[in-house]
Amino acid sequence: MVFIKGGTYGMEDDQNHEVNIKDFYMSRYPVTVKEYLAFVEATNGNEPEWMEADNSYNIYTGSDDYYKKLGVSIMNEQHPIVGVSWHNAMAYCEWLSEQGIQAYHLPSEAEWEYAARGGIHNSPYLYAGSNKLKEVGWYKNSHGETKTVGQKLANALGLYDISGNVWEWCLDEWEEDINKVPKDGSPAKGSRDRRVVRGGSSYSNFISCTVSIRSWYFTNNRSYNVGFRVCRY
């Protein structure tokens, strides 16, 4: 976990929407396949879509090649986990919290962007750590697969893979109007069945991987290009 000193910034490059973030910690990397499958084994549930029994997308027995076409990268222990819903990510945070004295959670959208921008460093980059995406992220240069976390350069806070590799779930319900996102860093209320994702993926173009681009997926969506990372206070 990386300590992130709180501060104030203009969300989505809008100085009229300044958000105040309090101190928090964020995982240095997205949650990996190894880390997530330890949770699956311990709880006997919340399998990623590609290993769920009797699922047509099962990488071994399924009739659909949705995940099979990704090859062995989908199962590489040091790659970010994919094929998990927002509910799965929340369940992982709850399980992780039960392992010790710290309470873990997904980042709010405001926390995610603040961290991506380098926190108090307020780095003026398009991407998390550079204006050149190839230096800090996997996108169309990934040959259509996720990659081992931590191979590219970190941003000013020492966070890796913020731009690219996988889209990352946030706590927030989707609210299209940025001005309705709370200015205290807490998650937004909006469409309950849609949740914010940030950061772009190894299948994304340049624009999707910038620190300011916002997007969403349905809460029960499990996709080959969406994962998550965890935070705590």
Alpha helices in the chain (DSSP H): 33-43, 86-98, 109-116, 133-136
Do residues 12 and 214 make contact, with C-beta atoms less than 8 angstroms apart? yes
141 is written with which tokens? 């240069």
What is the pLDDT, as a whole number, of residue 221?
95
Least confident of 13-22, 141-150, 157-166: 13-22
Whole-number Å distance between alpha carbons of 181 and 172: 9
Residue position matching structure tokens 């490059």: 13
What is the pLDDT, as a whole number, of residue 143?
86
What is the pLDDT, as a whole number, of residue 73?
84
What is the pLDDT, as a whole number, of residue 159?
98
**pLDDT band at residue 68 under the 50/70/90 scheme:** confident
Return the closest-CA partner of residue 130 out of 106, 180, 164, 99.
164
Identity at 76, one-letter amino acid code: N
Per-residue burial over 96-121, b = 16 or more CB atoms within 10 Å of its CB, e = otherwise: beeeeeeebbbbbbbbbbbbbbbbee
Whole-number Å distance between alpha carbons of 111 and 103: 16
What is the pLDDT, as a whole number, of residue 71?
77
> What does pTM read for this prediction?
0.95
Q: Report the percentage of the chain scoring pLDDT > 70.
A: 100
For residue 13, pLDDT over 80 is answered with no
Do residues 182 and 18 make contact, with C-beta atoms less than 8 angstroms apart? no
What is the pLDDT, as a whole number, of residue 163?
97
Least confident of 38-42, 201-205, 226-230: 201-205
Q: Following DSSP, what letter does each residue of 31-75 receive, concatenated? A: PBHHHHHHHHHHHT----GGG-TT-TT-TTT-S--TTGGGGGGGG
| Domains by residue range for the chain, with CATH | 2-232 (3.90.1580.10)
What is the pLDDT, as a whole number, of residue 16?
80
**How big is the CA angle at 217 (ends 226 and 156), to the nearest 5 degrees?**
50
Could you tell me the end-to-end alpha-carbon distance of the chain, in angstroms, rounded to an integer?
A: 11
Whole-number Å distance between alpha carbons of 206 and 203: 10
Higher-pLDDT residue of 219 and 140 is 219
Q: What are phi and psi of 148, to 5 degrees?
A: -55, 135
Q: Give the orientation angle of helix 33-43 with respect to helix 86-98, to 10 degrees.
A: 70
